[in-house]
Amino acid sequence: MKKYIFVAGGVMSGIGKGIATASIGKILKSKGFGVTAVKIDPYVNVDAGTMNPVEHGEVFVTKDGSECDQDIGNYERFLGRELTKKNYITTGKVYKAVIERERNLDYDGKCVEVVPDIPNETIKRIKRAAKEDEADFTLIEIGGTIGEYQNLLFLEAARMMKLDEPEKVLFILVSYLPTPKTIGEMKTKPTQNASRRLNEAGIQPDMILGRAEQPLDEPRKNKISNFCNVEKKYIISAPDVDSIYDIPLNFEREELGNMILDKFNMKKQDTEMKEWKKMVKASKNGGDKVSIAIVGKYFETGQFTLTDSYISVIEAVKHASWDQEISVDIDWIFAEEYEKDEEKIKELDNYDGVIIPGGFGSRGVEGKIKTINYCRENKIPFLGLCLGMQLSVIEFSRNVAGLKKANSTEFDSNCQYPVIDMMEEQKELIENSNFGGTMRLGDYKCKLKKGTKANTLYEKTDILERHRHRYEFNDKFKDTLKKSGLILSGKNPETGLVEIVELEEHPFFVGVQFHPEFKSAPLKPHPLFKEFLKTAKEH
Ligand code: GLN
């Protein structure tokens, strides 16, 4: 008997609906059930690949190469399982499928209508995910906020599922309770309104998770219970926490998992979260302080700095730091600052390690190359991810191999030494403006050269990592760069594409064409990040 739990958000975005969904999943999994999760994004974009990360946050990549919302990353990290493109639904995907089917006469001449055909296609996709993932429980997070026009058809899908099989469907509203400074009291009205808007869509929440700075007190619970028509015991506090990984434990303390089972008329089950508890404890142990700089560009939004674009990198650093028993401070550096002010780069002396994450386009690139140069010459541990790897090849070519005008054709299509060049199969796609979902995406194999740092830290020679790029190391420069000392320590066994570069006589200088951050989980820190932090700690 498959069960479906819909999670929708009230009042505003950014209140941790994705983490709440992932945490509920974690709890049910710890009770011995098969669990999967689906994210529904109301965007017309078919996937997240065409969205600017500053607007939408990180583009997470699954093993089968789907470009998804960052919440898919949260689900993978909490559930400890790999998800695929079926776990990510968007308005664009649903409409595209319905229109294609209509063009193929698959609706047998009937009128194809927004309702019920769009919700029906959504339901089909949800059920397919539940089936393929062999899930007892499927969590479905409806993106956006209640009251928005955009997600109404998905609420309609949820309502239809409940009507069809009431005993199998549960609704959880994650809502925000503000405590305005001038009032000094936690207010329930916005949540009451969110719950009413949900009622307008034909949905009665079964439970409400009250996100707030503090736990909800009795008067607040009474009000919400009364005005939102939800029994008081099903109003759960979800106060702010230091670490997102605390949340499943906090929910468990309120017996959320057993309440859900009870709602489904299922027997209570014990939770097994020993490993998780150990990890959460280790995350609070502190230890030596290590400072890491992340030099990037996707964090400006008006007057605010947002780090959502790099969420998997941040999490991967944290996971590895607990394993290394250190505490990490991450600083965000705008790459462009090093282009404007030559002297500023010396501030990198204050860091124990530097990461250059993935990116696109030429803005900030020269500042990142300067950063790499400084790390290489001053022996500061350096980890380059995707674009970070490509720029380390450019830096090395220019300043060690004597190819002064080396560059990537992404930034200068006519450069003298295109040490990074567009992959052959990408050229036609780009000429035809065929951008969506066409990069080299998802899992690809990499063979590591015996005796290299990469080989030592992975403790094997065959690895599988996730990718998202159009440009690659240009093999024409292989011999020149090798002669100058660049070690090509990992290659794709089928195409020979260079996947990893490293340097000797440097404590840690590694660039990878892939995104190891997507495979790191709190219970499975990634070897590259572990070794990077180990060296940073020694530094
Ligand atoms: N812009 C580079 C490419 O397309 C790097 C991409 C990335 O960092 N994800 O190859």
Sign of CA dihedral 510, 516, 521, 523: negative
pLDDT digits (tens, 9 = 90+) for 423-445: 988 999 998 998 999 999 999 99
What is the per-residue pLDDT for 403? 97
> From ligand 1's centre to the CA of 358, what distance in Å?
6
Helix axes 365-377, 387-399, angle to 10 degrees: 70
- Is pLDDT of 105 > 70? yes
- Is pLDDT of 80 > 80? yes
Yes or no: say if 172 and 209 are a contact pair by the CB < 8 Å rule.
yes
- Closest by CA position to 71, among listed 144, 11, 170: 144
Its pTM stands at 0.94
Tell me the sheet residues that pair with 473: 420
Yes or no: say if 265 and 3 are a contact pair by the CB < 8 Å rule.
no
Alpha-carbon gap, residue 290 to 163, rounded angstroms: 54
What is the per-residue pLDDT for 301? 58
Structure tokens at 13: 């975005």
Catalytic residue among 76, 515, 526, 531: 515
Structure tokens at 275: 């490993």
Structure tokens at 280: 């959460």
Angle at 479 between CA 476 and CA 482, to 5 degrees: 125
Structure tokens at 483: 């002669």
Yes or no: say if 190 and 175 are a contact pair by the CB < 8 Å rule.
yes
What is the per-residue pLDDT for 302? 63
- Is pLDDT of 300 > 70? no
Say which range, 12-21, 190-199, 201-210, 478-487, has the weakest mean pLDDT: 12-21
Yes or no: say if 417 and 395 are a contact pair by the CB < 8 Å rule.
no
Question: Could you confirm whether 446 is annotated as catalytic?
Answer: no
Cβ-in-10-Å burial (0-12, 13-18, 19+) of 338 comes to buried
Q: Residue 303's pLDDT band (boundaries 50, 70, 90)?
A: low
Alpha-carbon gap, residue 140 to 214, rounded angstroms: 26
> From ligand 1's centre to the CA of 514, what distance in Å?
9
Yes or no: say if 397 and 408 are a contact pair by the CB < 8 Å rule.
no
User: What is the rounded average pLDDT of the residues 108-113?
Assistant: 94
* Protein residue closest via CA to atom 9 of ligand 1: 358
Mean pLDDT estimate for the chain:
94
First-residue to last-residue Cα distance in the chain? 54
Protein residues with CB under 6 Å of any ligand 1 atom: 358-360, 386-387, 390, 410, 468-471
Question: Could you confirm whether 336 is annotated as catalytic?
Answer: no
Yes or no: say if 26 and 161 are a contact pair by the CB < 8 Å rule.
no
- Centre a 10 Å sphere on the Cβ of residue 63 and count the other Cβ atoms it contains: 18
Q: What is the share, in percent, of the chain residues with pLDDT greater than 70?
A: 99
Enclosing H/E stretch for 304: strand 304-305
- Higher-scoring residue by pLDDT: 309, 277: 277
Alpha-carbon gap, residue 312 to 367, rounded angstroms: 23
Alpha-carbon gap, residue 16 to 240, rounded angstroms: 10
- In the chain, the domains with their CATH numbers are 3-186+205-278 (3.40.50.300), 286-538 (3.40.50.880)
> From ligand 1's centre to the CA of 67, what distance in Å?
14
* Protein residue closest via CA to atom 7 of ligand 1: 358
- Higher-scoring residue by pLDDT: 368, 306: 368
Catalytic residue among 141, 499, 517, 531: 517
pLDDT digits (tens, 9 = 90+) for 43-73: 999 999 988 888 788 999 999 999 999 999 9
pLDDT digits (tens, 9 = 90+) for 407-422: 999 999 999 999 999 9
Alpha-carbon gap, residue 463 to 311, rounded angstroms: 23
Look at the block and give the residue holding tokens 């007892």: 136
Phi/psi of residue 448, nearest 5 degrees: -95, 145
What is the per-residue pLDDT for 242? 86
Alpha-carbon gap, residue 133 to 106, rounded angstroms: 27
Question: Could you confirm whether 515 is annotated as catalytic?
Answer: yes
> Is 535 strand, coil or helix?
helix
pLDDT digits (tens, 9 = 90+) for 12-40: 888 889 999 999 999 999 999 999 999 99
Sign of CA dihedral 305, 308, 275, 8: positive
Q: Residue 297's pLDDT band (boundaries 50, 70, 90)?
A: confident
> Is 326 strand, coil or helix?
strand
Q: How far is CA 67 from CA 96, 356, 468, in A?
A: 16, 21, 9
Q: Residue 494's pLDDT band (boundaries 50, 70, 90)?
A: very high
Catalytic residue among 67, 386, 410, 467: 386
- Higher-scoring residue by pLDDT: 300, 91: 91
DSSP 344-384: GGGGGGG-SEEEE----SSTTHHHHHHHHHHHHHTT--EEE
Strands, sheet with 417-422, edge to edge from the N-terminal-most edge strand: 406-408, 417-422, 471-473
pLDDT digits (tens, 9 = 90+) for 389-404: 999 999 999 999 999 9
